Amino acid sequence: MIQTKVHFGAGLVMGIVVCAIFFQFFAPRYVVVKSDTGMVKQDKWTGNSWQYDGYSWKEIREDRQNWEAVDEALMDALNIKDSRTQSGNSLNARIQMLKGKYPVLASLSDEDVMERIKYLYARKIMVDLYLSQMEVGGK
pLDDT in tens, 2-36: 899 999 999 999 999 999 888 888 777 788 888 77
Using the 3D structure, point to which of 60, 82, 98 is the last residue of a domain. 60
Amino acid at 129: L
Q: What is the pTM of this model?
A: 0.38
**Shared-domain flag, residues 82 and 117:** yes
**What is the domain count for the chain?**
2
Q: Please spell the DSSP secondary structure of 89-139, one letter per residue.
A: HHHHHHHHHHHHH-GGGTTS-HHHHHHHHHHHHHHHHHHHHHHHHHHHHH-
pLDDT in tens, 66-92: 767 777 776 776 666 665 544 556 778
**Shared-domain flag, residues 30 and 87:** no
The whole domain housing 83 covers 68-138
Is pLDDT of 65 > 70? no
**Shared-domain flag, residues 54 and 74:** no
Using the 3D structure, point to which of 28, 60, 92 is the last residue of a domain. 60
Contact 42, 49 (CB under 8 A): yes
**Shared-domain flag, residues 93 and 56:** no
Q: Note the pLDDT of residue 14.
A: 96
Q: Note the pLDDT of residue 18.
A: 93
**Shared-domain flag, residues 42 and 79:** no
- Nearest to residue 46, comparing CAs of 32, 65, 29, 34? 29
Average pLDDT, the chain: 80
- Nearest to residue 98, comparing CAs of 75, 121, 114? 114
**Shared-domain flag, residues 75 and 103:** yes
Q: Note the pLDDT of residue 90.
A: 75
